[in-house]
Structure 1
C-alpha cells in the first residue's frame, strides 16, 4: 500500500500540481507581507514639505507595481512547472512583437499617459478633479487606470489614455460663490445689497481665508436680478461656506421681515 502511495505522490502530474499550489501559496504570502511592509514604510513620520496626498499617491502606485511584478514572476514559474520553456517563448515574442504591439497600443498609451500624470503631479489621491468627462475625488492613480469617486458614490475606472485634459480644483485656496436671485420688482436693488452687507458683517466660518465680499449685480433683466457674493476658503471647504452664507442671509432676511411686520 505504501509503495502505491509513494508512486502516486511521485507521479509527474501530482508533482506539477504541488509545485503550482506551492507557487500560489508563496504568491499570497509574499503579497501580504510586501503590501504590509510598503504601507508601514509610508506611515513613518514624513518631512514637512511632503504633502499627504503625494504620499498616498506614491503608496498606492508602489502597491500596484509590486502586485503586477509579483504576479508575473509567479506566472512565469507556473509556466515553467507546466513545461513551457520561456526562452523559446521570448524568442517567438520577438517575431510576433509587431503584431502584439498593434494590439497593445491602448495599453502602452495608458502606461505612458499615467507616467506623465504622476511625474507632472497633475493628479493626486484626494484631489477634486474633472478628468475624462468625470467629476469627483481621486481615489487611486495607477499606470493603467485612474479611479475617481463621483459625488453620488459611483467609482469610475478611467483608462489613462482617455484623460486628455485635467481640471484640478484642489490646488490652492478656493472661492465660495453665492448667487442671489431676486425679483426685479421686489425692492430696490441697492436696498437688497445693503441687506446682504448687514447679514454678512459678523459672518464667520473656520474655513474662511477672507471675509465674504458682495461683488454686486451679476446680471439683470426684466424679471430677475442676480447679486453675487464671493469669499476665499480653504481647499474643499467652499461648499460648506456657501451653505452657511446662504443660511446667514436667509436668517437675516427673515428677522428683518418680522421686525418690519411688527
Structure 2
C-alpha cells in the first residue's frame, strides 16, 4: 500500500492518527498539570478564615469539574479531527438531551440538592455525619453523589437526592457519655460518691470540660444506671469515653480489693 516510509508518514490516515494521539497526550499532560496547579492553589489558601474541611471539599469539586470539562473538550477535538461534522451532532444532542431531560428528573434533583449542600455547608470533607441512613466520614462531596466512608470501611455512594436530612456530628464540641450499671444490692448514693471520686482527677488532652456525674439515669428493680458526661473536642468523644470507663473500673476494683 505504501511504497516508502515518506508515503506512510504523510498519508492522510497516518496524519489523522498522529493528531488523535497528540490530542490524547495533551489531555493527560494538561490534566496532570491542571490538577497540580489546583492542589497548590488550595494548599496556599490554608488559613484560619477558611476551614481545612471546606477547602478540601471545594478542591475535590473543582478537580472533578476540571476533569469533566477537559475530557469533553478533547473528545470534541478528536471527533473534529476524525472528520465528524459537529454541527448536526450538537443539534441532535440538544434534541436528545431535551427528551432525556424529562426522564432524568432524579439527576436534576441530585445536582440541585448537591448545590444547596455545598452552599449551606451542611457537610464537608472529613465531617462525621449521618445522612441518607448512613453513618460515617465524608470523603467526597459532588454535585451528583456524596461519598461516605462507614466505620467498618465500607464506602457508600449516596445520590444527593436521597440526603433528605443531615446530622453533622463534627460541628463544635461533642459530648462523651458513659452509663454505668450498678447492681441493685449497691447503695445508689454510695455508688455515686465512688464514681465522683474516680473521675475527680481525670484528665485527657481532648477534654473541654471536666467530667461530671449527672445522677441516676434509670432505676428499676434489678439495676441502677448512673450517667457521666464531659464535653470533648470533635471526634474525640469515643476516646474519652473509653478512658473514663477504664478509670472508673480501675477505681471500683481497687475499692473491692481494699475491702
- Using the size of structure 1 for normalisation, the TM-score is 0.94
Q: Is 2:219–2:225's contact at 8 Å kept on the other side of the alignment?
A: yes
Tell me the residue number matched to 2:77: 77
* Alpha-carbon offset, residue 11 of structure 1: 3.4
| Corresponding residue of 2:38 | 38
Q: Within 2, Cα distance between the matches of 1:182 and 1:87?
A: 78
Query: How far apart in 2 are the matches of 1:61 and 1:96?
Result: 27
Q: CA deviation at 1:225?
A: 1.4
Worse-matched range after superposition: 12-21 or 109-118: 12-21
SS in 2 for 1:242: helix
The answer for unaligned runs of 5 or more in structure 2 is none
Alpha-carbon shift at residue 47 of structure 1 (Å): 3.2
Query: Cα offset for 1:2?
Result: 8.1
SS of aligned partner of 1:136: strand
Distance 1:204 1:62 in 2: 42
Provide the residue aligned with 2:247 in structure 1.
248
**Residues of 1 paired with 2:13 and 2:109: CA distance?**
41
Instruction: Report the counterpart of residue 236 of structure 2 in structure 1.
Output: 237
Partner of 1:133: 133
Aligned-pair distance for 1:4? 3.1
Contact 2:16 2:81 in 1 (8 A): yes
The whole-number CA distance in structure 1 between the counterparts of 2:163 and 2:103 is: 20
Q: CA deviation at 1:199?
A: 0.2
Structure 1 gap segments, 5+ residues each: none
What is the CA–CA distance in structure 1 between the aligned matches of 2:95 and 2:39, rounded to whole Å? Answer: 41
- In structure 2, the residue matched to 1:192 is 191
The residue correspondences of 1:1-262 to structure 2 (distance < 5 A) are 3-44=3-44, 46-185=46-185, 187-260=186-259
* 1:44-80 deviation digits (Å, cap 9, x = unpaired): 1533211111111111111111111111111111121
Superimposed CA distance per residue, residues 145-170 of structure 1 (whole angstroms, 9 cap, x where no aligned partner)? 11111111111121212211111000
Q: 1:5-35, CA deviations, whole angstroms, 9 ceiling, x for partnerless residues? A: 2332333333322222111111100000000
Contact 2:2 2:8 in 1 (8 A): no
By how many angstroms is 1:188 displaced?
0.6
Structure 1 residue matching 2:7: 3-state secondary structure: helix
TM-score by length of 2: 0.95
Distance in 1, Cα, partners of 2:5 & 2:114: 54
